[in-house]
Structure 1
Amino acid sequence: MPTSRRRAVSTIAAALVGAVALTERGSADGPARPPQGPAPLRRAHAHNDYLHPRPLHDALAHGFTSVEADVFLVGGDLLVAHEPAHLDPARTLRSLYLDPLLARVREGHGSVHPGHAGTLQLLVDIKADGVAAYRELDRQLRDYRRMLSSCTDGRVRTGAVTPVVSGDRTARLPMETQRRRYAFYDGRLDDLAAPVPASFAPLVSADWRQSFGWRGAGEFPAAEREKLRRLVSTAHTRRQRIRFWATPDTPGPDRDALWTALSDAGVDHLNTDDLAGLEAFLRDRRR
């Protein structure tokens, strides 16, 4: 190759390398763009997320967009555990979720999943002392308000993280009186028949076993399929999302059949403790 041509090729290659470097590091025209990871899975909900080896981080690594943390009010702080016997003062809502999420949002330039828009749902399941626990949750959330969704006088602003309060139903009382909230309410199927706005309860959750007998084996009974379709349609008409807990979670064809039926019906969140299993199922459906 002639010397002049070699120089031209080298110049073009250097320019391309420089362009890539500027994209990764940022330039005078703007901040660096965060690296783009696998597409997040909008239906993936990590039930009992805090029981995984790396709470929050394992779920995010599998592309989950919703995580659940059970909390108890102990000594003025919110401790994360499934039951009182497992309480540990070091495992707080701040240390396991709020602080890591804030760091991730900052690193991801406003996104929990770098390179992808959308909000992460943080489902906070209050196990006891609903009113007092919610007041402490509200106090803590205000320290992180810049990354959180909020509702002011019924108007919703969507942030990188959307806290939703579940569990002890008495938490609803102080929430309903607030002019500005940094958390939302997890409704129940009864709320689909009541005038509960999506700005207050954007999510409706229910125990699958209390409404449906099918567990994934054999054909989905036509009457139950139609009931599921009606519930999803009603929720979506009201601009609410719907989730069922206590669905079968043992790997196998029954679970796959039930997950398929839920997905086909438009259920918004699939509940699981098996992060890798649900990720594989949802990504296979995409393909």
Structure 2
Amino acid sequence: MAHRDGAPTRSRGRLRYGVVLLVWLVAGANAAAPVGPSPLPQAHAHNDYEHERPLLDALAHGFCSVEADIWLVEGQLLVAHDRRDARPDRTLQRLYLDPLQERVRQNGGRVYPQGPVVTLMIDLKSEAEATYAVLRNLLAGYTNMLTHFTPTSTVPGAVTVILSGNRPTARVAAEPWRWVAIDGRLADLERNPSPHLMPLISDNWILHFRWRGTGDMPEEERQKLRELVQRTHQQGRRLRFWATPDNPPMWAALQAAGVDLLNTDDLGGLRAFLTKSK
């Protein structure tokens, strides 16, 4: 009979052990899960490389679009706004491509765990054709994370590369299979090129609008902005403006009109605005 009396005790012991083990496993899984800011699809880090930690500061704030200016210098693509500031240790791959690839590897194929596609806007400052030739070869080493384009299709990856600045538009358009798209201008809406070539329209705010983010936005400008957004979206593109005042009234007006990317140098300010307005 003794062995029968002990059986329930052993069963209860095994049950307690199983519960403890399950709690331990769940806690361990939660501890190992990536923790970070929620991604903000509208947030675009203008001149991102000027922050203390290029790319990393933007990602720490949840930004889903970052912009890097590049110069072709002795065969290397160096990140800088001006040629005189280009340094050999600040390469595109070191500051952007390698960290993005590592994030994608860690997060199961995305920059943010289960997050949206992240845009890497590359502004070509040096001569378009020569710079793109080097960039194209460089991107060939990162194709596992990049969006693929053809003249008639877009296959989203973790990172979409869009070329701005000195854009080799004709060369890119002629490629049957590529890893980049082109940043268009408002004038391109008249031509209506393929959205697989030009998925984004960007332009200088002060060339098209008088309002500078103080006081009430004039109704005629508000209506003009809404019409531009509508036209851009009807063509299957996103819209962004640069040279916009970096303040909440401007962000609110752009957001209300449906502008897709809000341009900023103030990472914390825009994050606070977007998370508060949710």
Same topology, TM > 0.5: yes
For residues 150 and 252 of structure 2, the distance between their equivalents in structure 1, rounded to whole angstroms, comes to 37
* Equivalent in 157, 160, 163 of residue 155 of structure 2: 157
| Unmatched segments (≥5 aa) in structure 2 | 1-8
Aligned to 1:68: 67
SS for the counterpart of 2:141 is: helix
Of 83-92 and 145-154, the range deviating more from structure 2? 145-154
Whether 1:274 aligns to 2:266 is: yes
What percentage of residue pairs aligned between the two structures are identical?
A: 45
Q: How far apart are 1:173 and its partner, in Å?
A: 2.0
For residues 126 and 86 of structure 1, the distance between their equivalents in structure 2, rounded to whole angstroms, comes to 15
Aligned to 1:47: 46
Q: How far apart are 1:144 and its partner, in Å?
A: 0.5
Structure 1 vs Structure 2 CA RMSD: 1.9
Is the CA contact (8 Å cut-off) linking 2:199 and 2:238 kept in structure 1?
yes
Whether 1:18 aligns to 2:25 is: yes
SS for the counterpart of 1:279 is: helix
SS for the counterpart of 1:44 is: strand
| Unmatched segments (≥5 aa) in structure 1 | 26-33, 250-254
Aligned residues: 270
Aligned to 2:119: 121
Q: How far apart are 1:177 and its partner, in Å?
A: 1.0
For residues 165 and 223 of structure 1, the distance between their equivalents in structure 2, rounded to whole angstroms, comes to 32
Of 160-169 and 34-43, the range deviating more from structure 2? 34-43
For residues 196 and 235 of structure 1, the distance between their equivalents in structure 2, rounded to whole angstroms, comes to 12
Counterpart AA for 2:135: L
Whether 1:89 aligns to 2:88 is: yes
TM-score (structure 1 length as normaliser): 0.89
> In 2 relative to 1, CA 89–258 (structure 1 residues): closer, same or farther, beyond 3 Å?
same
Counterpart AA for 2:20: A
Whether 1:246 aligns to 2:243 is: yes
Is the CA contact (8 Å cut-off) linking 1:39 and 1:116 kept in structure 2?
no
Of the two, which has the highest radius of gyration?
2
Of 115-124 and 265-274, the range deviating more from structure 2? 115-124
Q: How far apart are 1:261 and its partner, in Å?
A: 0.6
SS for the counterpart of 2:207 is: helix
SS for the counterpart of 1:151 is: strand
For residues 176 and 62 of structure 1, the distance between their equivalents in structure 2, rounded to whole angstroms, comes to 34
Q: How far apart are 1:39 and its partner, in Å?
A: 1.5
> In 2 relative to 1, CA 12–126 (structure 1 residues): closer, same or farther, beyond 3 Å?
same
Pairing of 1:86-235 with structure 2 (within 5 A):
86-113=85-112, 115-169=113-167, 171-235=168-232
Is the CA contact (8 Å cut-off) linking 2:39 and 2:63 kept in structure 1?
yes
SS for the counterpart of 1:262 is: helix
Aligned to 1:29: none
TM-score (structure 2 length as normaliser): 0.92
Counterpart AA for 1:276: G
For residues 259 and 54 of structure 1, the distance between their equivalents in structure 2, rounded to whole angstroms, comes to 24
SS for the counterpart of 1:218 is: coil
Q: How far apart are 1:215 and its partner, in Å?
A: 0.8
